[in-house]
Homo-oligomer: A and B are copies of this chain.
Amino acid sequence: MISGAALGGILLSAAIIRADEGMWLFNEPPRKLLKERYNFEPTDSWLEHVQKSSVRFNSGGSGSFVSEDGLVMSNHHVGADSLQKVSDETHNYYRDGFHARTLAEELPCRDLELNVLISIEDVTDRVNAAIKSGSTADEAFAQRRAITAEIEKESTDKTRLRSDVITLFEGGKYHLYRFKKYTDVRLVFAPEQQAAFYGGDPDNFEYPRYDLDVCFVRAYENGKPAHVEHSLKWSEAGAAENELVFVSGHPGHTSRLQTMAELAYTRDQQFPYTLSWLHRSEVMLNAYSGRTEENARRAKKMLFSAQNSRKAREGGLAGLLDPAVMTKKQASEKQLQDFYGKSEHTGDSPWKKIEAAQKVISEHALVYNLLETGQAFNSRYFQIARTLARSAAERGKPNGERLREFRESARESLEFSLFSDEPLYDDFERVKLADSLSWFAEKMGFTNELVQKVLAGKSPRERAAELVAGSNMKDVANRKKLYKADSSEFANSQDTMIQLALLVDFPARDVRKIIEAQAEIKQQAYAEIGKVKFAMEGSNSYPDATFTLRLAFGQVKGYEEDGKHIPFETTIAGLYQRGAEHKNKPPFDIPPSWLKQKSKLDLNTPFNFVSTADIIGGNSGSPVINRNAEVVGLIFDGNIQSLVLDFVYSDFQARAVAVHSSALIEALRKVYDAGPIADELTGKKHSNSK
């Protein structure tokens, strides 16, 4: 461990990438690193096989072909959306699980699109050539959009494949990705939620774990199971300690270029502020839920979301408060700056530009959070009223000049959300609003002019009651009517929430303008840094995550925590033990199916395990494979220490959490009576009955 005091003196000499770091591009894999660290050299056909066996869930997640008959493996929580959509009044497949015993029983998933990456082409030169020299940032943006649209259209016309130009290294590179699409996808199997998400919120982001977070779907073509050329074989043994493993999946977003200035802001201001808001929300929702069962039902989704966000921020902040992590970031930033310093530049460096922008953002962040993101007015009624009032105001402007969410391209999702008939409850709106009005007064000071205007001479609680009682935003027909009204009608509205939305609209737009201008400055500066990084490292590096296919690698390995060794794997026996320790109380109750079949199970079967592979949200459902590209596990979470991977890789305690391949087979055969699926996975059975 390097102490903070020594921070200035550390300089890593040559390679920035060490250890098991990296979310690598399939066309620029870490050949050197793998050779050096693990004496492993992936062949081109190994890479092609893994790439084409990997599947992206466009609903947000990863998966893989695990049989030549188009069987796709992912997580229960990745399939959650589909499981809920195929459910009806009499079948709650999300909660209770699903099992198609024949092809005929496989249920079509609504709106689910799977993508398989077929080819990658570097189109950087063509994109850059289209930018006329001397263009302003806005002009360059438009020119870039035009050329990428042209490239994509050409490719689609030629290949009939979905074609996306992906911006990598913040604009250092542009790659054309071609995907085969599957839109006929059918549900095959999912366990009950209690098995998939065993331990609930208390165990979320934690390790050791005992979750069977799996879901199988099948890709169809022409009404029949897709026959796929590439699918992953199953490993007989599964993941073993210290083994080299790979994760092929779609990490969603990382911020590893984030400068020290921005990280310091995130650590010292943004995360602490967000955490205090989340702590407050969690307490408020818990207290509301404690009053009645019905309250608990109403607040459940919001409470889980607050807890999940809180844990994620806690983990991220803990990482940023770790001197080892920050020392590493500092050293890598210094290298980039030194490289940048070797050539001539005019004006401020991108790091200076970001620091300056960040300073402005930091001064306005509080007001932005309160007024524009609406923390001060935590009620759906307010959000709806503001959307309606702004919609009327924005509609009159040319499309390009509107606020982002009111552009034509966003219209469909705007209307979908605005006219949702999701039930809303006055008492819940009142409680949330009263609490947030108090937060507003606490943060801005009670004597602040806008606070005084908003509260209108009442206490937060009274004012919230008045605002909720005087608004008709609950009525969807009323929303539809107002959606057609023009601005003048809003100005005269007697609806209290409309009045509130108008009262705060000017200062809210004002602060948004300031923040967005700085964000634009930062984006351009990050593009500069991205180019520096790319120039310095070339293909010895990997770009920030972009929800496109990447290859990560690492070792199956436990870690030390609070002076204790956390073993790399758990066993099925551990599940029953954990249930017993909790007297089988939720969320630690053993699912009845597992209680019933306990005597049949080999309790020593490995259940979950961890590895040092570099993953982040979006990797959920990714296969964990060995050197032979055989499935040894299924990624479903990261531990709390892995949450810092958004900013920087660490293998000290950060771990990717996976279901062990042996547990999948054991459970399918013995708990779920799903032997045929296990046979299909392990190649013991051929073609499903075609």
Contact = CB atoms under 8 A, between A and B. Distances in A.
A4 B438 contact: no
B272 A457 contact: no
Nearest to A267: B446
A290 B452 contact: no
B202 A287 contact: yes
A5 B457 contact: yes
Contacts of A279: 276, 279-280, 282-283
Contacts of A291: 202
A458 interface: yes
Contacts of A88: none
Q: How many copies does the complex hold?
A: 2
B280 A457 contact: no
Given A276-B279, A562-B430, A318 B202 contact: no
Nearest to A431: B562
A300 to B, nearest CB: 15
A317 interface: yes
B582 A442 contact: no
Contacts of A443: 272
Contacts of A1: 457-458, 462
A408 interface: no
B460 A582 contact: no
A581 interface: yes
B442 A562 contact: no
B582 A441 contact: no
Given A202-B287, A292-B581, A582-B293, A318 B461 contact: yes
Contact of A321 (B264, B268, B310, B460): B460
A287 B282 CA distance: 11
Given A279-B280, A292-B582, A457 B202 contact: no
A452 B276 contact: no
A415 interface: no
B201 A459 contact: no
Nearest to A444: B268
Contacts of A445: 268
A337 interface: no
Given A446-B268, A562-B430, A4 B292 contact: no
A445 B563 CA distance: 27
A462 B319 CA distance: 11
Contacts of A310: 283
Interface string A419-459: 00000000100100000001001110111000010011111
A121 interface: no
Nearest to A311: B287
A653 B272 CA distance: 35
Interface centre among A271, A456, A457, by most chain B C-beta atoms within 10 angstroms, is A457
A229 to B, nearest CB: 46
A160 interface: no
A580 to B, nearest CB: 10
Contacts of A602: none
Interface residues of A, number: 62
A587 to B, nearest CB: 8
- The A interface, classified by DSSP as helix, strand, loop or mixed, is helix
A35 interface: no
Nearest to A326: B446
A459 B271 CA distance: 16
Contact of A268 (B2, B3, B442, B456): B442
B276 A459 contact: no
A459 B458 CA distance: 45
Nearest to A273: B442
Contact of A457 (B2, B275, B292, B582): B2
A226 to B, nearest CB: 43
B283 A438 contact: no
A323 interface: yes
Interface in A456-476: 456-462, 464-465, 469
B321 A290 contact: no
A318 B438 contact: yes
A167 interface: no
A349 interface: no
A443 B4 CA distance: 18
B581 A293 contact: yes
Contact of A452 (B4, B280, B438, B563): B4
Contacts of A31: none
B272 A3 contact: no
A585 B287 CA distance: 16
Nearest to A271: B442
Contacts of A3: 456-457
A582 to B, nearest CB: 6
A583 interface: yes
A334 B430 CA distance: 35
A673 interface: no
A323 B455 contact: yes
A672 to B, nearest CB: 28
Interface string A186-226: 00000000000000011000000000000000000000000
Contact of A282 (B267, B283, B321, B462): B283
B293 A455 contact: no
A286 interface: yes
A482 to B, nearest CB: 24
A321 B465 contact: no
A293 B562 CA distance: 21
Nearest to A284: B279
30 contacts: A4-B455, A6-B457, A202-B290, A267-B446, A268-B445, A272-B443, A275-B280, A279-B280, A279-B282, A282-B283, A282-B286, A283-B283, A286-B286, A292-B581, A292-B582, A293-B581, A293-B582, A293-B583, A318-B438, A319-B459, A321-B438, A321-B455, A321-B460, A323-B455, A323-B458, A323-B459, A430-B562, A461-B562, A465-B563, A469-B563
Interface of A: 1-6, 201-202, 264, 267-268, 271-272, 275-276, 279-280, 282-283, 286-287, 290-293, 310, 317-325, 427, 430, 438, 441-443, 445-447, 452, 455-462, 464-465, 469, 562-563, 581-583, 585
| Nearest 10 CB-CB pairings of A with B | A3-B457, A202-B290, A322-B459, A272-B442, A279-B279, A465-B562, A279-B283, A276-B276, A279-B280, A4-B452
Given A321-B438, A322-B462, A324-B459, 7 more contacts: A3-B456, A4-B457, A201-B290, A272-B442, A293-B581, A317-B442, A318-B438
